[in-house]
Structure 1
Amino acid sequence: MAQGFKKTRKGIVGRFEAPEVQLLQKLFSDVAGTLEPQARPDEDPLAALVGIDQDASEPTDPALKRLLPAASMDPERAEEFRRLTDRSLREAKVGALKASSLALESDPVTLTVEQAQDFARSLNDIRLVLATRLDITTSEDAERVGEQVDFADVGDIHDYMAVVYNFVSWLQESLMNALLKTL
C-alpha cells in the first residue's frame, strides 16, 4: 500500500506497490495522450516551433476544457490567447506528465523540489479530468465522491473512478504537505 510522500534529507520520497505505480503511469499516459497537440501536415514549422497554433480552438471535451480553460470572457481575446499559448501549454503539461511517469520507475520514488512540483501539477491534471468525468463541481459533490474509499466496494466504472480520484487526491495532499516542509 502506498505510503504517500515525505520530506527527507534525500528529497521528497514516496513508496508505492507495483499496482499503484502501474495505475499512476496509466493515468499519466492517458492524460498526456489526451493533451498531445496534433501535428498537421500543412502546419507552419516555425509557428509550431515557437508555440503558435493558428487553428487552436476551444476544446469540446469538458475535461480538456477544464485543463485548458478560456483565458478571457471576451471570445476574441480568448481565441487570440489560445492561438498563442495552446500548443506550449499542452506541451508543458505533457512534459510534466511524462517526467512524473518516469519518476515512478525508481523505488522508492525520490523527487527534487522541482520534480515534486511537476508531479503535483500532473496529479492535479489527473484530478481535474476525473472530477469532470465524475461531475464534481461543488464541495458537496467532492464529499459525496469522498465517501467511496475502498476498491472492494467498486461496482461500476463510476465507483472505480471515485476510488481512483480519492487515491490521487490523497497522494497529492501528501506531496503538497511534503513540499510545504521545504519552504
Structure 2
Amino acid sequence: MRGFRADGAVAIAELDDEERLVVARIVADVALLLGAEPFGSDHPGDSSPADIDIDDPFEHLRGLEESIKEPSDPAILRLLPNAAPTDREAADEFRRLTDGELRATKIRRLRRIWEQLSFGSNGASDEEWVVNEDEAFATAAALTDVRLVLASRLGLTTDDDADRLHQEIDLATHALETDEEEVLPIDHERVWLGMLYQALTWLQETLVEYVARPKETDV
C-alpha cells in the first residue's frame, strides 16, 4: 500500500487486489450501518420515495420515526452524534430535521469510494486508487466515518487507547514473526481491525496532505 500523492489534478494511492477488497468491503459495511442497501445490489441507489412499497404506504413514516431516535449502536452514534447532549428534546428535533440528509450524504461518499475501488477509474492501473481533486475532501470525510466505526468497535476513545492498540499490534507482529504466537495471547480479530484502522488513518492523512498542499498558481 502506498499513500496518496499528487499527480496533476488527481490524487493517487496504490493498493493491491487484497487491500482494495478489504477497504471496499469495510466501506460497504459502514454504509449498511447507516441504512444503505447493499452496494452492488439490484437497487444500488440511495433509498428514495420511489423505493417505498406501494402495499405499505406508511413505511416511510415508520422510517422517519426511527430516524429521530438516538442510535443504540455506539458506532452509529459516533457517525450521527447528538447535537445537544444535555437537551434531549432539542437533540431529537435536530435529528428529525437532519438525519435523513446526513445519512444520504455519508452513504453517497462511501458508495463513491466503493465504486472507485471495485471498478477503478478510466485510465488507471489495477492498483491505482484515483481521487479527483474536487472529490478529495469528501473522500477524506468518508474515511473519517469508517475510522470512527472501527474506533468504536475497538473501544478507542482516548489517545492512550490508541497508543495501547499500537502496542498490541507491535506485540502481535513480534509474536508472529518469532513463532511465539502460542506463548503470547493474541486477539487476532482485534489486531486485524487495528491494523485496518492504522492503514486507513495513514491513507486519510496522505489525502489530507494532498488537499492542504500549496496550489500552483499562474504567474
Structure 2 residue corresponding to 1:87, chosen from 100, 118, 135: 100
Q: TM-score, normalised by structure 2?
A: 0.73
Q: For 2:203, give the aligned amino acid.
A: L
Give the alignment of 1:4-153 within 5 angstroms.
4-36=3-35, 41=56, 42-43=58-59, 53-56=64-67, 57-72=69-84, 73-104=86-117, 105-106=119-120, 107=125, 108-147=128-167, 148=169, 153=176
Residue 177 of structure 1 and its aligned partner are, at CA, apart by 1.0
CA distance in 1 between partners of 2:6 and 2:196 (Å): 24
Q: For 2:82, give the aligned amino acid.
A: A
Residue 146 of structure 1 and its aligned partner are, at CA, apart by 2.4
| SS of 1:130 mapped into structure 2 | helix
The alignment yields a C-alpha RMSD, in angstroms, of 2.3
How many pairs align?
176
**Unmatched tracts of structure 1, length 5 or more:** none
The structure having more radius of gyration, on CA atoms, is 2
Q: For 1:20, give the aligned amino acid.
A: E
Q: TM-score, normalised by structure 1?
A: 0.86
The answer to whether the Cα contact below 8 Å between 2:9 and 2:133 also exists between their aligned partners in 1 is: no
**Unmatched tracts of structure 2, length 5 or more:** 37-46, 177-185
Is 1:171 aligned to residue 207 of structure 2? Answer: no
Residue 43 of structure 1 and its aligned partner are, at CA, apart by 3.8
Q: For 1:122, give the aligned amino acid.
A: A
Range with greater deviation from structure 2 (146-155 or 33-42): 146-155
The answer to whether the Cα contact below 8 Å between 1:100 and 1:118 also exists between their aligned partners in 2 is: no
Question: % of aligned pairs identical?
Answer: 31
Cα gap change, 1:32 to 1:135, in 2 (>3 Å): same
CA distance in 1 between partners of 2:187 and 2:202 (Å): 21
Q: For 1:178, give the aligned amino acid.
A: Y
Summarize deviations over 1:123-142 as a string: whole Å, max 9, x none.
11111001011111111111
The answer to whether the Cα contact below 8 Å between 2:150 and 2:193 also exists between their aligned partners in 1 is: yes
